[in-house]
Chains A and B, each alone.
Chain A
């Protein structure tokens, strides 16, 4: 029975000792230790959160970069297309213009050739006429130099008229 009867002295001393121990440890041990542990846990948590945020930002940046790159690529493509179109336009315009010019030149050349030809033909005609007249004059002069021949001619001419 002795074993299970709490002794007054030990109860009192345990009580006093425990309260003092609690007060001392609370002030000098638990507060600083729990405070430090809590602070460290907070700092770790914050660091992790920040790392997460940084990762998120990195990802955002990456996607932004990709977007920009894509846009740039698209823009380049558009520019290239424009340039190609412009080139084609320029070329076709130049071609058209050249063709028109060429046609004009050819037309002009044709006209002038025609004119020249006409002039040349006229000139030739005049010259042939002159020459013919000259020849005819000479031939007539030759032919009509004697009486005989003059009569013969008149006679042939009359024959011709008869025929008509």
Chain B
């Protein structure tokens, strides 16, 4: 119990520290967003030619996409084409995203497997039978098209696989180092990853879960720690722009779901008793606490999901917003300021990559520890 308390306290301190950074970041974020949008609004009034829309640019970078846009060359976008995999009424439909010809405004129609598909803001829509072009309602939602089940290898899936490849190279490479050296002395990459692995074991798993049972959860905790961390880091590399895997709510949702499933599966009698029939309080209180505890059970993974998503996405948005300032003000003079700020934020983001991976892992471990804690009071 004291171990858990200690861990929780430390976690609270850490979260508070992170929240201070976050407060600062969100303050900047709000400031910049308002400047950007105002700039955009005023720009719209003044000029009639093609305007720079920071919101669209930022959203384009932060959200998922069906192709991997690298750069514009001679007025044409250069991008890596990725496979589009759809489950429609006619069954599985696949084609390469290059067939949209970089269009994401829903004008270019791809006909495949008896269906007409358009790319509307990186969402694939299937036109209803007989339609030839997309019709929009007042809020720019398509009225004559439906969304098929989309299992495309998107930009994020692609980058996730790249990160998996890197992880496998690093850790299987490290593991082989141990086989080679007979006296288990870490060398090369192993000497780099071993402190991290030992950190996860000694600072996360053991204090949060307990000496007796922590071993069971080590593979999960290690995998989630490094998986989140490397995707956080990949999101910061500018050249692979928009690889915002860990800032995508689908990604964080899935990982939080795993933590929730494991917590639910390993939960012992004591854990469920604390949720449905809190010991040590009068019966009306027990009944009153039951729904609260039930909500708490759900809120834990949801907070995991939102925390990671919001932190990483906010970091991306803030850097992009800073860069947008140059284009909003249409002045090179803004560039040094923007770059200086973006550099500063990037440095904070580098710390945040590790902190968020750590927090995700710590909280997962804490939930496992709470679910498996034996009654002792």
Contacts and interface: CB of A to CB of B under 8 A. Distances in A.
A17 B164 CA distance: 8
Contacts of A36: 178, 184
Interface stretch (B3-11, B16-24, B94-102, B218-226): B218-226
Given A17-B164, A24-B168, A39-B184, A10 B62 contact: no
- Describe A's contact surface by its main secondary structure: helix
Interface in A1-24: 2-15, 17-18, 20-22, 24
Contacts of A9: 85, 149-152, 154, 157, 250
A11 B250 contact: yes
B251 A10 contact: yes
B223 A10 contact: no
A21 to B, nearest CB: 5
B157 A33 contact: no
Nearest to B168: A24
Given A5-B249, A17-B161, A36-B178, A30 B184 contact: no
B329 interface: no
A13 B157 contact: yes
Interface in B120-135: 121, 123
A117 interface: no
Interface in B180-235: 183-185, 190, 193-194, 197-198, 201, 218-220, 222-224, 227
Contacts of B183: 40
Contacts of B178: 32-33, 36
Given A25-B167, A32-B178, A17 B160 contact: yes
Contact of B175 (A12, A15, A32, A43): A32
A11 B194 CA distance: 31
B34 interface: no
Contact of B250 (A10, A26, A43): A10
Interface stretch (B105-113, B252-260, B284-292): B252-260
Contact of B220 (A5, A17, A22, A28): A22
Contacts of B248: 7, 10
A31 B171 CA distance: 11
A119 interface: no
A7 B250 contact: yes
B223 A21 contact: yes
A32 B171 CA distance: 10
B78 interface: no
Contact of A32 (B150, B152, B179, B218): B179
A90 interface: no
B63 interface: yes
A36 B185 CA distance: 9
Nearest to A4: B249
Contacts of B258: 15, 18
Contacts of B164: 17, 20-21
Given A25-B219, A34-B201, A14 B167 contact: no
B324 interface: no
A19 B350 CA distance: 27
A10 B64 contact: yes
Contacts of A74: none
A28 B150 contact: no
A29 B152 CA distance: 30
Looking at chain B's contact residues, is the secondary structure mostly helix, strand, loop, or mixed? helix
A56 B9 CA distance: 41
A18 B227 contact: yes
B160 A6 contact: no
B184 A40 contact: yes
Contacts of A39: 184
A25 B168 contact: yes
A33 B175 contact: yes
A34 B217 CA distance: 12
B347 interface: no
Contacts of A18: 223-224, 227, 254-255, 258
A133 interface: no
Nearest to A30: B219
Contacts of B175: 28-29, 32-33
Contact of B63 (A3, A13, A17, A37): A3
A35 to B, nearest CB: 8
B259 to A, nearest CB: 11
B223 A22 contact: yes
B14 interface: no
Given A3-B59, A29-B171, A29-B175, A11 B253 contact: yes
A30 B249 CA distance: 28
13 contacts: A3-B59, A5-B249, A10-B156, A10-B254, A20-B164, A22-B223, A25-B172, A29-B174, A29-B175, A33-B190, A37-B194, A37-B198, A40-B183
Interface of A: 2-15, 17-18, 20-22, 24-26, 28-34, 36-37, 39-40, 43
